[in-house]
Copies of this chain bind each other. A is one copy, B any other.
Amino acid sequence: MSSNNRAKLVTREFQKEDTIVKIGDLEIGGDNCVIIGGPCAIESKDQIITSAKLVKAAGGHILRGGAYKPRTSPYDFQGLEEEGLKYMLLAKEITGLKIITEVIDVDSLKICEKYVDILQIGARNMQNFSLLKHIGKSNLPVVLKRGLSATIEEWLNAAEYIISEGNKNIILCERGIRTYETSTRNTLDISAVPVIKSKSHLPIIVDPSHAVGIREFVTPLSKAAVAVGAHGIMVEMHPNPDVALSDGKQSLSGGEFANLCQEISKLLKD
């Protein structure tokens, strides 16, 4: 479909105009700014439905929630799997939000495709090329998170694995890179947004929660993401962050999330 001599499919050289990813009536890319919110992991029916209502009330567009969790240790909570997806679908029916979840292998991909609107490839699987090729054959849009130490070029090459199989609906997601600095979980590479927009026609969003890992810094970083030109943000929100099964320290409460949405809305008015 392309060779080393021709422009890669993800590049501006190949396609000048911005790609707009459409999910029903929702558009990601161009001049839009989408807000994705929700818990790291789906923990129960109540938790995900309450989360969805909070996201919806605050003005968010998409509900996130993990059903298959790639955890550093095999002994950590690994997710509710299909049961969680059923709860998430329920939350979608109640609120009208679109839903996104992470897939971690071909088996989870097959199952997730039946429930969600958008698939997600996590940072750890950014160069799981075998999985990327399968995603490339899916009909669903995909958020491709940047690997923890991936260069921008490697990240675009990972996207090329997907697009070269036919799936053009790719949303890139900057989520912090690994550096020597330890006062934040990772280092948000905010420059990646304009660099990607210069090199590629694909939309790019920012996940400040995983990048910084500390609740109080999520709102200022979200504002920076919007100011720098990101097509959206993906933020962890939990109805009760202090009891979250994972990533509670970086999750906003419902009230904090609503406040964040207001701040973003003010920025976007300009």
Contact = CB atoms under 8 A, between A and B. Distances in A.
Interface in A170-188: 177-184, 187-188
B161 A149 contact: no
A159 to B, nearest CB: 10
Interface string A145-169: 0001101111001001100100000
Interface in A235-270: 266-267, 269-270
A223 B3 CA distance: 38
A221 B195 contact: no
Nearest to A154: B72
A224 interface: yes
A191 B177 contact: no
A157 B74 contact: yes
A130 interface: yes
A221 to B, nearest CB: 6
A204 interface: no
A127 B72 CA distance: 8
A147 B5 CA distance: 30
Contacts of A154: 72
A187 B4 CA distance: 28
Given A129-B104, A180-B151, A216-B198, A190 B221 contact: yes
A193 interface: yes
A30 interface: no
Contacts of A153: 183
Interface stretch (A80-88, A112-120, A225-233): A225-233
A223 B216 contact: no
Interface of A: 2-4, 8, 70-76, 104-108, 124-125, 127-131, 133, 148-149, 151-154, 157, 160-161, 164, 177-184, 187-191, 193-195, 198, 211-212, 216-217, 220-221, 223-229, 266-267, 269-270
13 contacts: A72-B154, A73-B157, A107-B130, A128-B131, A151-B182, A152-B181, A177-B181, A179-B179, A179-B187, A180-B180, A181-B189, A183-B195, A193-B220
- Please name the 6 residue pairs, one residue from A and one from B, whose CB atoms are nearest each other, closest first: A149-B149, A227-B227, A105-B130, A124-B127, A224-B228, A224-B224
